[in-house]
Amino acid sequence: MNQRWRLLALWLLPIGVVLLIGWQVVSNGGMNGLSQDSNGTTVAPRNAAVARMSYGRFLDYVEAGRVTAVDIYDGGRNAVIEAVDPDLDNRVQRLRVDLPGLAPELINTLKTEGISFDIHPPRTAPPALGVLGNLAFPLLLIGALIFLARRNSNMPGGPGQAMQFGKSKARFMMEAETGVMFDDVAGVTEAKQELQEVVTFLKQPERFTSVGAQIPRGLLLVGPPGTGKTLLAKAIAGEAGVPFFSLSGSEFVEMFVGVGASRVRDLFKKAKENSPCLIFIDEIDAVGRQRGAGIGGGNDEREQTLNQLLTEMDGFEGNSGIIIIAATNRPDVLDSALMRPGRFDRQVTVDAPDIKGRLAILDVHCRNKKLENELSLESIARRTPGFTGADLANLMNEAAILTARRRKEAIGLSEIDDAVDRIIAGMEGRPLTDGRSKRLIAYHEVGHALIGTLVKDHDPVQKVTLVPRGQAQGLTWFSPDEEQTLVTRAQLKARIMGALGGRAAEDVVFGHQEVTTGAGGDIQQVASMARNMVTRLGMSDLGPVALEGGNQEVFLGRDLMSRSEVSESISQQIDIQVRNMVKRCYEETVEIVAANREAMDRLVELLIEKETMNGDEFKAIVAEFTAVPEKDRTVVILD
């Protein structure tokens, strides 16, 4: 880059020098430069004067007969005069005068007074210099544009690529060296088996074609964010050993209509030249959303791009030897034409891993980390239900950072616990110093934990703490003993009661008028669970009827202007059912809290003193005052 700037400077320097010389010649062609006499001979002007005289005083000198000679320059704008100064013993003095212009009156006056005068015309610049001066600025501008074009020729979207808007921006690798193989991907065994067939098809197509099987056109990886969809695509590229095109769905979309479709055509043209090959489109929902889903018309550019993609994937010509792998976490918004067989023949679900999958993922991410001998990866896997592969990678990285910050040599269980708390709840805040607020928060958190311990179908308590994290002033952690794919009505009711335990404790201990806003988030969670039980899960007196759709997000053009799914009378009954369900749960929660007031007071005193209690310690103290039910996690479904 520095060399290019030096070349530009060397190219512009001669032009600048010529312009400077020309300007000097033209500007000094009058009294400060050379002049011509009446015969055309160039002479040096008599302009060595340093003193100046005003035009009015010059006229006074002319009338007084003190001026002996006048030389006029610059078309009558300047003059050098020779005048006799009586104050200097009548010595001749050369003075400079600024004239208003070459007026006829002044010439007549000089003639009348018999004063010798001479008019020196300005020296004209050579024609070549004038032409160069006129061309200098356009040449300078063109040179700067050429320099900027060359400078940005390798930059996407730069001026040098003004004619390449329609070219594909896909990263192309003849042999994809992603550094990721199937052995590096864990926790998604079923998805790996599906994708392994694609790799085998690319390496040994005769194994399938001999029995009449055709290579799949496309594979759609569907799953929540962080489950490893992009990682799987990299593993396919690394295993297959065929040309690999990689790009994002948003790279097709531009502000100019037709550019996205042109890029799709260019992408498939390159893919056909290198078939068999793989094309990976990440976040395909950016370009593959349902057509006509906008109010008053859709996005023409995006819809044209989608139409071209549909045509290229399964149009009149077809694309043999080209496999498209796409990833999205929003399959509900994709166009139905894109999802049909012949375009995306397979949909591979990449879900959050179970405990075995989390254990395998942790084993991958702990290869380069030092762990304490007593730390078990299985305990970490049980501690992190619902975590995706990206969450587990972030967890181990945060634990390693905490270990280095605490100047320890290996990651321990305390670092894992703190890292989990930081990821879920946020950064640890400043400890509470106000005794009244600390006691109130302690009763609130103990209320949650007490209900979670005494209600049989609730998840067991893992930890209760008064250490603030994120926006929460205190936290109560619940952790299920095993993976829960199905949840019973009793478990949902227990969760509602556990969420209401904090408000119930405030109500019992401090009175109805002293309840605080600390239960705001709990009440929102309760309302959501209760409404889902009534409208989606059929767990109310309204019967097993789904009264609302599963997708509650508004999709413009499809949902915003649609009718409500239930009548007004049913909506009122839904509200009544939700209120009654929450009311009954709250009344039962208050009864449990009031019946165990002695145990709650003891737990609050210990919690204020220690600030953090684990689940086993909490359960042992509760057991001193009342019987603690055994947690039965078996889910039975009766037909």
- CA-based angle 517:523:526, to the nearest 5? 165
| 440, 419 contact by CB (below 8 A) | no
Reply yes or no: is the peptide bond before residue 276 cis, omega within 30 of 0.
Answer: yes
Give the Cα separation of 475 and 27 in Å (integer): 83
SS (H, E, C) 137-192: HHHHHHHHHHHHHHHCCCCCCCHHHHHHCCCCCCEEECCCCCCCCHHHCCCCHHHH
Judged on CB neighbours under 10 Å (0-12, 13-18, 19+), 434 is: exposed
Which pair of structure tokens corresponds to residue 64?
Answer: 């007084």
Question: In DSSP terms, which residues pair with 289 in a beta bridge?
Answer: 334
> Which H or E run contains 570?
helix 568-595
Contacts 24+ apart (CB under 8 A), 146-149: 147/4, 147/8
Which pair of structure tokens corresponds to residue 17?
Answer: 């020098």
- CA-based angle 501:504:507, to the nearest 5? 155
In sign, the C-alpha dihedral spanning 65, 68, 74, 75 is positive
Give the Cα separation of 58 and 62 in Å (integer): 6
| 40, 87 contact by CB (below 8 A) | no
> Which H or E run contains 614?
strand 612-614
| 293, 336 contact by CB (below 8 A) | no
Give the Cα separation of 293 and 330 in Å (integer): 15
End-to-end CA distance of the chain: 74
- 502-518 as b/e, with b when 16 or more CB fall inside 10 Å? bbbbbbbbeeeeebeeb
- Would you mind telling me the total number of residues written for the chain in this entry? 639
Give the Cα separation of 374 and 395 in Å (integer): 18
The rounded Cα 352 to chain-centroid distance in angstroms is 24
- Show Cβ contacts of residue 543 under 8 Å, excluding neighbours closer than 6 positions: none
The residues annotated as belonging to the active site are 445
DSSP string, 291-303: TT-STTS--HHHH
Give the Cα separation of 264 and 219 in Å (integer): 18
Residue 330 gets the label, from left (phi > 0), alpha (psi -120 to 50) or beta, of beta
Give the Cα separation of 576 and 563 in Å (integer): 22
